[in-house]
Amino acid sequence: MTPLLELRGLTRSYGSLTAVDGVDLTIPRGERHALIGPNGAGKSTLFATVAGTLRASGGSVLLSGQDITSLPEADRARRGMVRTYQHSSLFLDCSVLDNVALAVQRVHRVAHRFDRAARRFRHTEAEARRHLDSAGLSGRTGDKVSALSHGERRQLEVAMVLATEPSLVMFDEPTAGMSAAETERFVALMERLPEDLTVLIVEHDLDVVFRLADRVTVLHLGRVLASGPPAAIRTDEAVQRAYLGSARTEDLFAEAEAGIEAEAEAEAGTEAEAGTEAGTGGPR
Ligand SMILES: Nc1ncnc2c1ncn2[C@@H]1O[C@H](COP(=O)(O)OP(=O)(O)OP(=O)(O)O)[C@@H](O)[C@H]1O
């Protein structure tokens, strides 16, 4: 089957520095794929080159088999590839609902006959509410965006992204600056995304990465060092070596593992409780 996203020898240079160096990557539809790597590995550059924010110096980007390498970001978005920014531009003085309604309207930008406008408006609003519900913000629809917390604003961005009916969403360090509770809420939201949505995420928090990703690609000096399921990446010696020297690395892996173990323990506890309920009450 044609992969949703394919990178063939993708390269991006800044003058004499090759920040992304001949990256090959194939991401099937519905995969949750994480890009990780030490500082300066080329993650942001690769991300921006895939999204069309930066122009490729060589190689190609294919979306559903179509070569989109020369398309600007807006055209890629129209084809279903959308990205989030670390610092996004929400309409702070507008309501949460209006922000998403505007995103919905942009997608269905068609000339409407006057007599259909009211019906169309109700449809837009219903759709916007549905996306806000998916993003866990149904209780904040009437609030101004300026009243939202940092974590809620990121949730709002997810609702706006969903409103564009994308096939690929690219998240750029989505949990940066979030509190532990906000991160937890965000991960839960990511886990509820539609199954056929393909996700590419650049994320420094390895706990988040190992919880969400089906596959992880590790970049080092602009090249793919390893690509595979989280369990294989965690134990990959070359990956461990690449992170050595960055003071946080081994600790980060250890932290991520501790997080996963804690999560597994919590899940085991929940299952044990559920088992008790099932044993006494049976399915409801
Ligand atoms: N605009 C630029 N001009 C020149 N060099 C750049 C530019 N942006 C990034 N670089 C260089 O390209 C290389 C890759 O940087 P990039 O930001 O893509 O890495 P990264 O993996 O995202 O790093 P970090 O985790 O620190 O954000 C680095 O050597 C960086 O210094």
Contact 84, 140 (CB under 8 A): no
Residue linked to tokens 């930066």: 54
CA of 77 relative to ligand 1 center, distance in Å: 24
For residue 262, what are the CA distances in angstroms to 119, 134, 137, 211, 256? Answer: 50, 27, 28, 12, 10
Atom of ligand 1 nearest to the CA of 48: 18
198-236 burial code (b ≥16 CB/10 A, e <16): bbbbbbebbbbbbbbbebbbbbbebbbbbbeebeebbeb
CA distance 24 to 227: 10
Residue linked to tokens 């309207």: 105
Q: pLDDT class for 119, splitting at 50, 70, 90?
A: low
pLDDT tens string 7-28: 999 999 999 999 999 999 999 9
What pLDDT shows up at residue 33?
Answer: 98
**Pair (76, 209) in one structural domain:** yes
CA of 223 relative to ligand 1 center, distance in Å: 13
For residue 144, what are the CA distances in angstroms to 99, 100, 157? Answer: 9, 12, 14
Q: pLDDT class for 273, splitting at 50, 70, 90?
A: very low
**Pair (15, 68) in one structural domain:** yes
- Single residue among 134, 165, 196 that ends a domain in this structure: 165
Q: 272 in a domain, yes or no?
A: no
**Pair (24, 65) in one structural domain:** yes
Q: Is 58 in the pocket of ligand 1 (CB under 6 A)?
A: no
**Pair (27, 157) in one structural domain:** no
**Pair (149, 171) in one structural domain:** no
CA distance 97 to 36: 34
Q: 277 in a domain, yes or no?
A: no
**Pair (173, 243) in one structural domain:** yes
Q: 239 in a domain, yes or no?
A: yes
**Pair (5, 131) in one structural domain:** no
Higher pLDDT, 257 or 224: 224
CA distance 123 to 55: 37
Q: Is 39 in the pocket of ligand 1 (CB under 6 A)?
A: yes
* Smallest CA separation from ligand 1 atom 16, residue: 42
Summary mean pLDDT of the chain: 84
- Single residue among 215, 231, 247 that ends a domain in this structure: 247
- Residue whose CB lies within 8 A of the most ligand 1 atoms, among 20, 35, 45, 200, for a mutation test: 45
pLDDT tens string 162-194: 998 899 999 999 999 999 999 999 999 999 999
Q: Is 20 in the pocket of ligand 1 (CB under 6 A)?
A: no
What pLDDT shows up at residue 84?
Answer: 83
Q: Is 40 in the pocket of ligand 1 (CB under 6 A)?
A: yes
What pLDDT shows up at residue 114?
Answer: 47
Q: 130 in a domain, yes or no?
A: yes
pLDDT tens string 83-111: 987 666 788 999 999 999 988 887 766 44
**Pair (228, 171) in one structural domain:** yes
**Pair (29, 44) in one structural domain:** yes
Contact 22, 9 (CB under 8 A): yes
Range(s) of the domain holding residue 161: 87-165
Atom of ligand 1 nearest to the CA of 202: 22
Global pTM reads: 0.82
Q: 104 in a domain, yes or no?
A: yes
pLDDT tens string 49-75: 999 999 999 999 999 999 999 999 989
- ipTM score: 0.98
Residue linked to tokens 């081994």: 250
